[in-house]
């Protein structure tokens, strides 16, 4: 690995004489990224939609956290709240903290926080084609990052852009740097997105369904690339997905979300082997399996709750096979489960035992 691609602190501040983040007291000994009791609301005509209700998790260096959940459960909103790119209004961060190296980003001034993005935390979007500006070459879009954030000259920035494209495995990067986004294939475009996210050597990467728009073979390559780069750069990676297979391969920890709540947190092996929340269990059971060919597929009956009108008690109780009367009245807090896990179910013991 050459010096430019290895992570070094000095590299980031080598651009403009005073880095806008130099005034921020990041504590290198504090955990990399901690999210605590994050709450996000959307004010709509139909009332307040609580998209995220007190989600907490943390990611360390070189660690991968998978956030799992079906559409509309608040995965992407959580990611956007961490990045600070929610559209406000209608969205509003109602409470909680997002701490990067001990500094609460939610309390930070927007002017400073802007520089945290890309320099410290970066994001990879789902649809790489629409996430790249169609009127500029990928080289321009990449080099603009170096020029704006690090004050690099046109020539330097271009050279760095080629280097980044090479790093993410784009063949003939020197020629392709002048191509436009539509001239790349889906997998290549996602590689370009990864290059852009990694360009300023952030510490945390949030990947919001990075492989959903790709076909299966390319999915595997892109995930492999992400995993390799993460190991190399000791990145904290938050992988948001609804694909149980992708998470199983890459993640160290898993956070399962349902209707804006983190319902189960555990390491990846425990989650798959012996889920402690009925929702996780139901999700795993609904994966089609070759050895059950011909049988009816187990599905989770019903629909996720409307966010403006969540059921009282546990949000999952109308669809839960374990539900009892208590679930309709009392909202379960996160119960600690042996093995350093946690589950938001009153009857987690039953779920684990079954």
Partner 1 sequence: MSDISAASAASTNVDSSGPEGSGSNRTLWGDVRYELFRSPVFWISSVLVFVILLMSFFPWIFASTSPNEAGACELINARVKPTWDKPFGYTAAGCDMWSSLVWGTGKSVNVAILTTIGTVILGVVSGTAAGWFGGLTDTIISRVTDIFFGLPFLLGAIVFLAIFPTRNIWTISLVLILLGWTSLTRVMRGSVLATKQKDFVDAARALGASDLFIIRKHVLSNSIAPVIVLATIGLGSYIGAEATLTFLGVGYQRPTVSWGLLVNEGQNLVFAGFSHLLIYPCAFIVVTVLAFILLGDVLRDALDPRSR
Q: Note the residues at the interface with partner 1 (CB under 8 A).
A: 1-2, 5, 83, 85, 114-119, 122-123, 125, 127, 130-136, 144-145, 148-149, 166-172, 175-176, 178-180, 182-188, 193, 196-197, 199-200, 217-218, 221, 224-225, 228-229, 232
Is the separation of the CB atoms in 176 and 165 below 8 Å?
yes
79 versus 247: smaller Cβ distance to partner 1: 79
Strand order, beta sheet including 253-258: 121-124, 204-208, 236-241, 64-68, 253-258, 261-267, 341-343, 335-337
Is the separation of the CB atoms in 13 and 26 below 8 Å?
no
Going by C-alpha positions, the residue among 209, 340, 321 that lies closest to residue 270 is: 340
183 versus 321: smaller Cβ distance to partner 1: 183
Neighbours of 3 (CB within 10 A): 8
How far is the C-alpha of 182 from the C-alpha of 135, rounded, in Å? 10
CB of 181 to partner 1, least distance (A): 9
CB of 21 to partner 1, least distance (A): 10
CB of 114 to partner 1, least distance (A): 5
CB of 160 to partner 1, least distance (A): 14
199 versus 268: smaller Cβ distance to partner 1: 199
- Helices vs strands, H then E, count in the chain: 14, 12
CB of 81 to partner 1, least distance (A): 12
- Through-space distance between the first and last CA atoms of the chain, rounded to whole angstroms: 49
5 versus 280: smaller Cβ distance to partner 1: 5
206 versus 259: smaller Cβ distance to partner 1: 206
Strand order, beta sheet including 47-59: 47-59, 33-44, 91-100, 103-104
CB of 277 to partner 1, least distance (A): 31
21 versus 48: smaller Cβ distance to partner 1: 21
């Amino acid at each position: 690995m050459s010096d430019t691609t290895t992570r070094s602190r000095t590299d980031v501040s080598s651009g403009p004489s005073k880095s806008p983040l130099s005034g921020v007291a990041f504590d290198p000994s504090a955990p990399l990224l901690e999210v605590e009791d994050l709450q996000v609301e959307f004010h709509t005509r139909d009332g307040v939609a609580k998209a995220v209700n007190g989600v907490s998790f943390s990611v360390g260096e070189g660690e991968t956290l998978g956030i799992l959940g079906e559409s509309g459960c608040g995965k992407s909103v959580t990611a956007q709240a961490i990045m600070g790119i929610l559209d406000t209004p209608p969205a509003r961060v109602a409470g909680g903290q997002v701490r990067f190296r001990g500094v609460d980003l939610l309390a930070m001034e927007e002017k400073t926080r802007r520089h945290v993005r890309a320099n410290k935390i970066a994001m990879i979007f789902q649809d790489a084609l629409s996430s790249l500006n169609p009127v500029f070459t990928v080289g321009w879009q990449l080099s603009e990052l170096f020029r704006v954030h690090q004050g690099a000259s046109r020539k330097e920035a271009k050279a760095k852009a080629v280097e980044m494209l090479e790093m993410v495995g784009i063949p003939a990067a020197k020629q392709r740097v002048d191509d436009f986004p539509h001239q790349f294939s889906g997998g290549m475009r996602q590689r370009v997105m990864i290059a852009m996210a990694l360009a300023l050597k952030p510490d945390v990467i949030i990947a919001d369904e990075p492989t959903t728009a790709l076909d299966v073979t390319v999915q595997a390559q892109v995930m492999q690339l992400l995993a390799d780069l993460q190991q190399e750069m000791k990145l904290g990676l938050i992988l948001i997905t609804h694909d149980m297979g992708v998470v199983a391969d890459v993640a160290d920890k898993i956070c399962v979300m349902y209707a804006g709540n983190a319902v189960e947190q555990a390491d990846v092996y425990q989650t798959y082997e012996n889920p402690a929340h009925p929702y996780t269990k139901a999700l795993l059971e609904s994966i089609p399996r070759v050895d059950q060919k011909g049988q009816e597929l187990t599905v989770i009956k019903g629909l996720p709750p409307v966010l403006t009108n969540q059921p009282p008690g546990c949000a999952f109780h109308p669809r839960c096979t374990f539900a009892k009367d208590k679930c309709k009245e009392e909202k379960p807090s996160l119960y600690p489960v042996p093995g350093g896990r946690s589950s938001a179910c009153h009857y987690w013991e039953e779920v684990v035992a079954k």
